[in-house]
Amino acid sequence: MTPQNLRYAESHEWVSVAPENGQQIATIGISAFAVQQLTDLVFMQLPSVGTEVKAGKEFGEVESVKAVSPLYSPVSGKIVAVNDKLPTELETLSSDPYGQGWMIKVAMSDDSELKKLLDQSAYDKQCAAEG
């Protein structure tokens, strides 16, 4: 089941934002649709805590038996947490992409970037079109 409160990048990353210690913290992962399209994941590279990310720019990559796919940050800011277990437990992306399958958490530098992302309805239409 897909959570309804997420925003999506056209490149299939999701973001969930919650206040934490006075900052807007964006939790970022890839959608169930993206995981299904990739199939058979074999490798993932994630950045380190403290790395600055920019909206629309690469922050890592995920590799399947079919292809290597870049991961793009939907928002700008500084990485405050990395899901270090994920690269050795890639099956988590299939079983719980919107929960335990999160990749990075970012202290956002520009909340307005969220307005450029897709809501659930628009993202569902994009996925149906890509089918």
pLDDT digits (tens, 9 = 90+) for 34-61: 999 998 899 999 999 999 999 999 999 9
Domain that holds residue 55: 7-111
Please give the mean pLDDT across all residues of the chain. Answer: 94
Residue 36 domain flag: yes
Residue 128 domain flag: no
Q: Under DSSP, is residue 22 helix (H, G, I), strand (E, B) or coil?
A: coil
| % the chain with pLDDT above 90 | 88
Residue 119 domain flag: no
Residue 64 domain flag: yes
What is the Rg, in whole angstroms, of the alpha carbon atoms belonging to the chain?
14
Residue 123 domain flag: no
pLDDT value at 22 more than 80: yes
Residue 71 domain flag: yes
* Greatest mean pLDDT range, 1-5, 18-22, 85-89: 85-89
In this prediction, residue 67 carries a pLDDT of 87
Q: What distances in angstroms separate CA 86 from CA 28, 70, 76, 115, 123, one per listed residue?
A: 13, 16, 22, 28, 24
**pLDDT grade, residue 66 (50/70/90)?**
confident
Token reading at 130: 């890509």
Number of domains in the chain: 1
pLDDT value at 1 more than 80: no
Residue 29 domain flag: yes
**pLDDT grade, residue 106 (50/70/90)?**
very high
pLDDT digits (tens, 9 = 90+) for 116-130: 999 999 999 999 999
Backbone angles phi, psi at 93, to 5 degrees: -65, -35
pLDDT digits (tens, 9 = 90+) for 3-15: 668 999 999 999 9
Ramachandran class of 71: left when φ > 0, alpha when ψ lies in -120 to 50, beta otherwise: beta
CA 60, CA 49: separation in Å to the nearest integer?
13
Residue 2 domain flag: no
| CATH number of the domain where residue 71 is located | 2.40.50.100
**pLDDT grade, residue 63 (50/70/90)?**
very high
